[in-house]
Amino acid sequence: MRKRTVLVTGATGYVGGRLVPALVRRGYRVRCLVREPEKARGRFEPGVEIVGGDLLQPDSLSVEHFDAGAAYYLVHALASSGDLREEETAAATNFVRSALGAGVERLVYLGGLGSEATTSPHLATRHDVGRILRDSGIPTLEFRASIVLGSGSLSFEMIRALVERLPVMVAPLWVGRRAQPIAIEDVLAYLVAALEVPLATSEVVEIGGADRASYRDMLLEYAHQRGLRRAIIPVKVLTPTLSSWWLRLITPLHARAGRRLIESVREDTIVRDPRARELFPDVKPRGMRAAFQRALANEDREFAETHWSDPVSSRGRSQSWHGVRFGVRRVDSRAVEVNVTARQAFAPIARIGGTTGWYYANALWRLRGFADLLAGGVGVRRGRRHPERLLAGDALDFWRVDEMIPDRLLRLHAEMKLPGRAWLQFEVSGVGPVVIRQTATFDPIGLFGLLYWYALYPVHTVMFAGMLRAIARSAEERPKASQTW
């Protein structure tokens, strides 16, 4: 059992958050070391053990927590305001000391691809961490990856935000640097396989996708898959520092993280050692085009399984937020508590649209449907198949039912004419009182899509707020009416 127990640090991060369920599916017993366990408990399936500990606070680390056959080191201080090298090396040193004390038999680390003579402080620090782990005496597999492409990854968010917002990009010369982007699914395949591969001593394994491509190539590939025409003009005047601040204005990246990320692309980051093919012959990394296709497809599953930044949903189930950005997506989410059962709360949601209408400002909904009809869309003439029952795939006015879970969830995607894609979701959760959460999401295409969102945002705010209040009122009034009758 000890050999099948795996410790994961960085489990709430982008890669770690996806690795944990992958390990569980392979039959491993997973323990996650996190700084704030109370905030992480709801993120993983039952059976995953959550323990508290901070790698920068050695007194918080327990030998019992490190009692595992193998341990993953997936933490980094990319967005830290402190000294990057000092924090990274201190955390790695404390991790090694605890792993040695517990008798861990294998370490797995995901670092950055680049030469040992790299001039990037970020990559140099990543290499220093790998050296600390390898020098521990515990057999260590250090993976070095270039750009990780996946829904929600830092690099993917940077690429999509730039392409979506800028028809013409005046870009620094680093857009011509070559990289070897790798899909997140392939990174996970390597990380999971790392537990089974024979390992007598430490190894550095360079991993990458099937294609070598410049950042310019990646920007244009994303534009192609989104149906956008984009021009890129390289210039010499943008230093890494200026580039990071330029990114802060254009993308959702934090300026500090952006600067450190940009510093790491001042040189080519490509695979030069074929050792990965020898150690992991069953892993066949996909190419750049397929990686982007997978990332875009996976975004439609509630945006992404994990995100590089903290999810807004961690603020609490009944809190509302409006106008929040997830990458370039715009989200308006609000919630209300009602003193009825989940079935009673969901009943008005299940009746929405058609002859029932949309509970608030129905004249505006009809006007929007008429405008859609004039634009060549479906309008609201389709109504709905049944007045009270919905199934996945049903037409619902100018929406289509994506998912329907009775008494719990209804998700619709828009089939109206839009400069982007839109979803409307209703969720019911809790017991006495229950919470009804309504979330409208818009994924704009290009600048016109953003202008559309902001132009109609005041109207949408009034309509969505009024609709949720009316749904809650209907849920509470219907049981009373039934009792009176």
Residue 309 confidence (pLDDT): 41
For range 151-163, the mean pLDDT: 81
Higher pLDDT, 317 or 170: 170
Count of Cβ atoms closer than 10 Å to residue 141 Cβ? 25
pLDDT tens, 173-213? Answer: 778 888 999 999 999 999 999 999 998 899 999 999 999 99
**Residue boundaries of the structural domains of the chain:** 5-298, 314-484
Q: Which residue has the higher pLDDT, 295 or 242?
A: 295
What end-to-end distance do the CA atoms of the chain give, in Å? 61
Q: Which two tokens stand for residue 365?
A: 């909904």
Domain 5-298 fold is Rossmann fold (3.40.50)
pLDDT in tens, 454-485: 898 889 889 999 999 999 999 998 655 544 43
- Say if residues 354 and 394 touch (Cβ distance below 8 Å): no
Going from the C-alpha of 480 to that of each of 60, 351, 428, the distances in angstroms are 54, 18, 20
Please give the backbone phi and psi of residue 481, each rounded to the nearest 5 degrees, phi first: -65, -40
pLDDT of residue 131 exceeding 90: yes
pLDDT, one tens digit per residue, over 339-352 is 999 999 999 999 99
Q: What is the rounded distance in angstroms from the CA atom of residue 243 to the CA atom of residue 288?
A: 24
Angle ∠(424,153,205) on CA atoms, nearest 5: 150
With the C-alpha atoms ordered 405, 356, 336, 414, is the resulting torsion angle positive or negative? Answer: positive
The tens digit of pLDDT for each residue in 299-308 reads 655 443 444 4
Highest mean pLDDT among 23-32, 109-118, 244-253, 313-322: 23-32
Q: Which of 58-62, 143-147, 305-309, 461-465 has the lowest mean pLDDT?
A: 305-309
CA distance 124 to 127: 5
| Closest C-alpha among 258, 54, 279 to residue 189 | 279
Percent of the chain with pLDDT over 70: 83
Helices 342-350 and 446-484, interaxial angle, to 10°?
120
Mean local confidence (pLDDT), 239-260: 54
Distances (CA, A) of 297 to 210, 294, 375: 20, 5, 27
Q: What does the pLDDT look like over 390-449, one tens digit per residue?
A: 988 888 988 989 889 999 999 998 988 888 888 999 999 887 689 999 999 888 887 788
- Gap between the Cα atoms of 336 and 464, Å rounded: 12
Q: What are phi and psi of 316, to 5 degrees?
A: 130, 145
Q: Which residues contact 198 (CB under 8 A, 6 or more apart)?
A: none
Task: Read off the pLDDT of each residue in 279-298 and give the average, rounded to a whole number.
Answer: 92
- Contacts of 94 by beta carbon, 8 Å cutoff, 6+ apart: 55, 56, 58, 61
Q: What is the 3-state secondary structure (H, E, C) of the chain?
A: CCCCEEEEECCCCHHHHHHHHHHHHCCCEEEEEECCHHHHHHHCCCCCEEEECCCCCHHHCCCHHHCCCEEEECCCCCCCCCCHHHHHHHHHHHHHHHHHHHCCCEEEEEEECCCCCCCCHHHHHHHHHHHHHHCCCCCEEEEEECCEECCCCHHHHHHHHHHHHCCEEEEEHHHHCEECCEEHHHHHHHHHHCCCCCCCCCEEEEECCCCCEEHHHHHHHHHHHHCCCCEEEEECCCCHHHHHHHHHHHCCCCHHHHHHHHHCCCCCECCCCCHHHHHCCCCCCCCHHHHHHHHHHHCCCCCCCCCCCCCHHHHCCCCCEEEEEECCEEEEEEEEEECCCHHHHHHHHHCCECCCECCCCHHHHHHHHHHHHHCCCCCCCCCECCCCCCCCCCEECCEEEEEEECCCEEEEEECCCCCEEEEEEEEEECCCCEEEEEEEEEEECHHHHHHHHHHHHHHHHHHHHHHHHHHHHHHHHHHHHHHHC
Q: For residue 280, is pLDDT > 90?
A: yes
Predicted local distance difference test score (pLDDT) of residue 245: 57
Q: What is the pLDDT of residue 377?
A: 76
Using 50, 70 and 90 to split pLDDT, how confident is the model at 105? very high
Tell me the backbone φ, ψ of residue 351, rounded to 5 degrees: -95, 0
For domain 314-484, the CATH superfamily is START domain (3.30.530.20)
171 pLDDT higher than 80: no
Same fold, 5-298 and 314-484: no
Q: For residues 319 and 428, give the distance between their C-alpha atoms in angstroms, rounded to a whole number.
A: 14
For residue 305, the model assigns a pLDDT of 41
> What gap in Å lies between CA 410 and CA 263, rounded to an integer?
44
pLDDT, residue 355, reads 87
State yes or no: cis peptide before 433, omega within 30 of 0. yes
Tokens found for residue 80: 């830290």
How far apart are the C-alpha atoms of 414 and 453, rounded to whole Å? Answer: 14
pLDDT at 327 over 60: no
Whose tokens are 């508590």? That residue is 337
Highest mean pLDDT out of 7-16, 101-110, 302-311, 434-443: 101-110
Backbone dihedral angles phi then psi of residue 171, each to the nearest 5 degrees:
-115, 150
